[in-house]
């Protein structure tokens, strides 16, 4: 993921260790209407038009930031300047700041780590160009914060879809409940990460952080194992570069970073097993 990306603050370089991650509640919405010939649109009830309105309602949702304990601890450990710290702990100011901050990678990460996010990404309609669709499937990527459940997501979707359209919509979870998870930082593994990182970046300090994405760490945590998201990245790509690359154009890792990670993981293994 992007744990171990060097971040510069007024108090020095920090290396985020992803000790927690958001949950997910991917959802398929099936929107129903009535089919008809495209040449006589008033005979039908266009499910695609309804789905488009639902997409618009979801996209305009602007909740306040949730300043949860994991986020509060991250902001404190990063030791940002006083003004930025104030903004990042303000449920009202954070969203507006993130929308306009020039460092889009950092801003997007701060926003995602403090908000439930809903991203309507896939739309499928039946029929042909000359057929008004009777049903449409809309897939929404929903990422939840610590403490939020699938029941919370369903209630929110009901609210956003609205009483006027909810009767035409089926809501289907796309997977089992996938809650936000975290691992403790008082562990031999965390201390080994700190020790191994110091050989490459002696001036830096490891900081526990949450990631907005999903990783295999949730499976290990479910079985009681301590799991972190961490590599060790070079200074050749910025934090914004890393955030922008995920599932996007030119997703990559520079060769120098690969070498640093090999050294890191080897050092951690030796330290833990010696």
Q: Which CATH number does the domain housing residue 220 bear?
A: 3.40.630.10
DSSP for 178-195 reads: B--EE--SSSHHHHHHHH
Query: 2 lies in a domain?
Result: no
167 and 36 belong to one structural domain: yes
41 and 114 belong to one structural domain: yes
101-117 per-position pLDDT tens digit: 999 889 999 999 999 99
**pLDDT computed for residue 248 by the predictor:** 76
Confidence of residue 202 (pLDDT cuts 50, 70, 90): very high
Taking every pair of Cα atoms in the chain, the longest distance, rounded to a whole number of angstroms, is 76
Question: What average pLDDT score do residues 15-34 get?
Answer: 97
200 and 163 belong to one structural domain: no
The predicted model scores a pTM of 0.92
**pLDDT computed for residue 1 by the predictor:** 60
Kindly report the CATH number assigned to the domain that includes residue 90. 3.30.70.360
Query: 233 lies in a domain?
Result: yes
What are residue 142's phi and psi, to 5 degrees?
-115, 130
Helices (H), the chain: 47-59, 69-78, 82-88, 93-100, 104-112, 150-161, 188-198, 217-222, 239-245, 255-273
Using alpha carbons only, give the angle 81, 84, 87 rounded to the nearest 5 degrees.
Answer: 150
54 and 12 belong to one structural domain: no
What are residue 161's phi and psi, to 5 degrees?
-65, -40
Indicate the average pLDDT of the chain.
Answer: 94
Selected residue with higher pLDDT from 237 and 95:
95
Query: 189 lies in a domain?
Result: yes
Confidence of residue 2 (pLDDT cuts 50, 70, 90): low
Beta bridge partners of 205: 14
> CA 209 to CA 216: how far, in whole Å?
16
82 and 115 belong to one structural domain: yes
| Residue 168 DSSP label | G
58 and 157 belong to one structural domain: yes
Which run of H or of E encompasses 89? none
14 and 30 belong to one structural domain: no
Q: Residue 34 sits in which domain range?
A: 23-173
- Taking the alpha carbons at both ends of the chain, their separation in whole angstroms is 27
Q: Above pLDDT 90, what percent of the chain?
A: 85
Question: What average pLDDT score do residues 129-142 get?
Answer: 97
**pLDDT computed for residue 140 by the predictor:** 98
158 and 29 belong to one structural domain: yes
Query: 126 lies in a domain?
Result: yes
């Amino acid at each position: 993921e992007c744990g171990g990306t060097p971040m510069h603050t007024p108090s020095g370089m920090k290396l985020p260790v992803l000790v927690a991650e958001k949950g997910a509640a991917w959802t398929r919405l099936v929107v129903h209407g009535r089919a008809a010939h495209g040449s006589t649109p008033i005979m039908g009830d266009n499910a695609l038009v309804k789905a488009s309105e639902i997409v618009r309602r979801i996209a305009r949702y602007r909740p306040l930031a949730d300043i949860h304990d994991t986020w509060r601890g991250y902001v404190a450990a990063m030791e940002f300047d006083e003004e930025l710290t104030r903004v990042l702990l303000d449920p009202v100011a954070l969203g507006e700041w993130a929308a306009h901050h020039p460092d889009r990678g950092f801003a997007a990460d701060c926003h995602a780590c403090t908000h439930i996010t809903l991203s309507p990404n896939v739309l499928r309609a039946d029929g042909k160009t000359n057929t008004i669709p009777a049903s449409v499937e809309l897939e929404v990527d929903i990422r939840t914060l610590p403490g939020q459940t699938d029941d919370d997501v369903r209630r929110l979707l009901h609210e956003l879809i609205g009483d006027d359209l909810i009767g035409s919509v089926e809501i289907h979870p796309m997977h089992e409940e996938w809650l936000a998870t975290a691992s403790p930082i008082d562990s031999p593994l965390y201390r080994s990460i700190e020790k191994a990182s110091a050989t490459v970046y002696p001036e830096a300090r490891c900081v526990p952080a949450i990631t907005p994405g999903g990783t295999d760490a949730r499976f290990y945590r479910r079985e009681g194992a301590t799991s972190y998201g961490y590599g060790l990245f070079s200074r050749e790509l910025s934090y914004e570069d890393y955030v922008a690359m995920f599932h996007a154009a030119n997703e990559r890792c520079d060769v120098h970073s690969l070498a640093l990670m090999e050294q890191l993981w080897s050092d951690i293994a030796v330290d833990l097993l010696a």
